[in-house]
């Protein structure tokens, strides 16, 4: 390793040209794998004299620049200024986050990353695209600085270009905060990890038999009574509307949309316990802290139930920027079939009245739903196919592939097994575009990995089930199927360990992977 000093003639200041050891951008352990990577063999030296500039024509770009600066600081300790206009000239080495209308940027989240020796250009149409590209850039920065090339520490980033687009517009995870409550900070932490792997959706399962987790001002007992329990008899908890807004804002800064779910007409014991007129199963109500499903139901025949739901959906929708409102609709075994269908069709109107598109688990496709309603497939392909035939988009969450709450194997400490073990390779080795026979590719909105919380109650346990599998789903949701291969992925996965360790993530060190 040696340094060559090139003196540029004229009145320009002396510019030091650093000669880097050869690099290969195509070998970078990026997850999700980008569509196209072309290496050029040299490096950009990230160092104290690097500055971030962003397009002035979009506030979101500057925000993304600050996000990058923050993450660079956390990883390298460097203080990288954003749009620092103090200096009269452009910095010697800079990162430019550029709003571009280039036709090569096919989707809102597409980005292009050009790494050259003295500059990095990140082009995107939207701030969301820039944000996805920033995650790629974060992954390219080595954990350790090189302190031998210059008198100051330098983090060499391999040069070349990356052209990238997402496969699916919907790349989600779900967290069940109803069976066990998770705090605002725990949910934020989960979002930090999801954002790094280019997830753009977090679905929050906010109510179930064991708990109601969001403040509804017009029906205060929902949280006073329904929020005070959880599986196993713990204290439960709930989000105030201010808490929820805080989560929404945090998500927004990471270009993640939070989808609220209020599960109904089944999975409603906590709601009916709070307001007994809602109950439709004719049985006496008591609080429930077990893990059975299918015993509770709202009374689909009562007008007051729909008045109540109008308030709930209105209040949540008013603090939820997501275009979607999830009504659950799963496992309503205590609801008569006719009542169930009536209920779903009535609730769809309420959701639409409040300006949202309805989402529901695959059972809701038994009702006559509109084409704008989205079906989340978990166990009934025929219902998803039926809904697709009338124009609905489908979110794929097949339980035997994507359920983060299934045990990895017989050694797993947490998790259930009803959909089988889901080892890391099984979670990764399926093709969402062809998995459901008879479901046209064009009907697939994306994929989502649900994390039900019967067996977990804090970040450590959540991470044990979610990681590393959630990293694989990120790749299945983003990367072109034809580029994916388990053997090659496994090597990139192992290289996530420094990040996971730095973030203190309690991932499951599955035996089938050689963690080094
Ligand atoms: C089924 S999947 C459920 C949840 C449980 C989960 C446990 C779905 C729509 N409903 O109520 O938590 O299994 O794995």
CA dist list (Å): 188 to 181, 200, 291 = 14, 14, 26
Mean pLDDT in residue range 320-333: 98
Q: Looking at the chain, which residues constitute the CATH 3.20.20.80 domain(s)?
A: 170-486
Q: Per residue in 437-455, pLDDT tens? A: 999 999 999 999 999 999 9
Q: Mean pLDDT throughout 152-175?
A: 97
pLDDT tens digits along 109-126: 999 999 999 999 999 999
pLDDT of 15 over the 60 cut = no
Q: What is the pLDDT of residues 377-435, one digit of tens each?
A: 999 999 999 999 999 999 999 999 999 999 999 999 999 999 999 999 999 999 999 99
Instruction: Check pocket membership of 405 for ligand 1, CB cut-off 6 A.
Output: yes
Q: How many CA atoms lie within 13 A of 166 on its CB side?
A: 27
Q: Which of 312, 488, 475 is nearest to 402 (CA)?
A: 475
The pLDDT tens digits for 292-315 are 999 999 999 999 999 999 999 999
Q: How many CB atoms lie within 10 A of CB 289?
A: 16
Best residue among 330, 375, 397, 416 to mutate for probing ligand 1, ranked by most atoms within 8 Å of CB: 330
- CA atoms of 275 and 289, how far apart (whole Å): 18
**Class for the domain spanning 17-164:** alpha beta
- Is 331 marked active-site? yes
Sheet containing 111-115, strands listed edge to edge, beginning at the edge strand earlier in sequence: 36-46, 155-164, 111-115, 119-124, 93-99, 50-54
Q: Which residues of 212-240 are buried (b: 16+ CB within 10 A; e: fewer)?
A: bbbbbeebeebbebbbbbbbeeeebbbbe
Measured from the CB, is residue 331 less than 6 Å from ligand 1? yes
Residue intervals of the chain classified under CATH 3.30.379.10 are 17-164
CATH number of 170-486: 3.20.20.80
Mean pLDDT of 453-468: 98
Q: Residue 2 pLDDT more than 50?
A: no
Residue with tokens 């007992």: 221
Opening angle at CA 492, ends 476 and 378, nearest 5: 25
Asked if residue 8 has pLDDT above 90, the reply is: no
Q: Please provide the average confidence, as pLDDT, over all residues in the chain.
A: 95
Task: Name the pTM for this structure.
Answer: 0.95
Query: Per residue in 193-209, pLDDT tens?
Result: 999 999 999 999 999 99
pLDDT of residue 16: 64
Distance 452 CA to ligand 1 centre (A): 7
* 148-173 mean pLDDT: 96
Measured distance CA(364)–CA(400) in Å, rounded: 20
**Res. 327: pLDDT tops 50:** yes
For residue 208, which atom of ligand 1 is closest to its CA? Answer: 11
Q: Which of 331, 348, 448, 475 is catalytic?
A: 331
Encode pLDDT of 17-52 as tens digits.
Answer: 788 999 999 999 999 999 999 999 999 999 998 999
State mean pLDDT over 304-333: 98
Q: Check if 168 has its Cβ closer than 6 Å to any atom of ligand 1.
A: no
Ligand 1 pocket, residue 452 CB under 6 Å:
yes
Cβ of 414 below 6 Å from ligand 1? no
């Amino acid at each position: 390793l040696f340094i060559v000093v090139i003196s540029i003639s004229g009145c320009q200041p002396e510019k030091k040209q650093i000669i880097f050891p050869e690099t290969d951008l195509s070998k970078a352990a990026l997850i999700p794998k980008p569509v196209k990577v072309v290496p050029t063999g040299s490096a950009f030296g990230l160092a104290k004299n690097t500055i971030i500039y962003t397009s002035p024509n979009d506030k979101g770009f500057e925000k993304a620049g600050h996000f990058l600066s923050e993450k660079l600081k956390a990883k390298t300790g460097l203080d990288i200024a954003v749009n620092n206009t103090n200096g009269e000239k452009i910095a010697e080495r800079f990162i430019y986050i550029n709003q571009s209308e280039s036709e090569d940027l096919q989707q809102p989240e597409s980005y292009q990353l050009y790494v050259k020796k003295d500059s990095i250009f990140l082009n995107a149409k939207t701030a969301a695209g820039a944000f996805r590209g920033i995650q790629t850039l974060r992954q390219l920065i080595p954990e350790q600085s090189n302190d031998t090339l210059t008198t100051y520490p330098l983090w060499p980033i391999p040069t070349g270009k990356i052209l990238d687009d997402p496969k699916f517009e919907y790349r989600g995870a779900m967290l069940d905060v109803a069976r066990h409550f998770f705090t605002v900070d725990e949910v934020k932490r989960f979002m930090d990890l999801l954002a790094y792997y280019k997830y753009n959706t977090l679905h929050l399962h906010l109510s179930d038999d064991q708990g109601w987790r969001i403040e509804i001002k017009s029906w205060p007992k929902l949280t006073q009574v329904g929020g005070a329990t959880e599986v196993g008899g713990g204290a439960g908890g709930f989000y105030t509307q201010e808490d929820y807004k805080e989560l929404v804002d945090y998500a927004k800064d990471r270009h993640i949309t939070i989808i609220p779910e209020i599960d109904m007409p089944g999975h409603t014991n906590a709601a009916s316990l709070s307001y007994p007129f809602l109950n439709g199963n004719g049985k006496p109500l008591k609080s429930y802290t077990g893990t059975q499903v299918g015993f509770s139901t709202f009374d689909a025949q009562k007008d007051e139930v729909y008045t109540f739901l109008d308030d709930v959906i209105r209040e949540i929708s008013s603090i939820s920027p997501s275009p979607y409102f999830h009504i659950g609709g799963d496992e309503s075994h205590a609801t008569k079939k006719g009542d169930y269908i009536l209920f779903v069709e009535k609730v769809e109107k309420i959701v639409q009245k409040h300006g949202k598109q309805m989402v529901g688990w695959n059972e809701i496709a038994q009702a006559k739903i509109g084409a704008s309603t989205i079906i989340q497939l978990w166990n009934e392909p025929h219902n998803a196919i039926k809904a697709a035939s009338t124009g609905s988009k489908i979110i794929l969450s097949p339980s035997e592939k994507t359920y983060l709450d299934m045990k990895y194997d017989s050694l797993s400490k947490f998790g259930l097994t009803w959909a089988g073990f889901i080892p890391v390779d099984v979670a990764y080795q399926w093709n969402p575009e062809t998995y459901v026979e008879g479901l046209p590719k064009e009907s697939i909105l994306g994929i989502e990995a649900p994390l039900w919380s019967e067996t977990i109650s804090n970040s450590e346990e959540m991470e044990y089930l979610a990681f590393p599998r959630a990293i694989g789903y990120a790749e299945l949701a983003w990367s072109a199927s034809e580029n994916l291969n388990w053997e090659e992925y496994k090597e990139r996965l192992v290289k996530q360990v420094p990040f996971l360790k730095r973030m203190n993530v309690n991932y499951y060190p599955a035996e089938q992977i050689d963690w080094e």
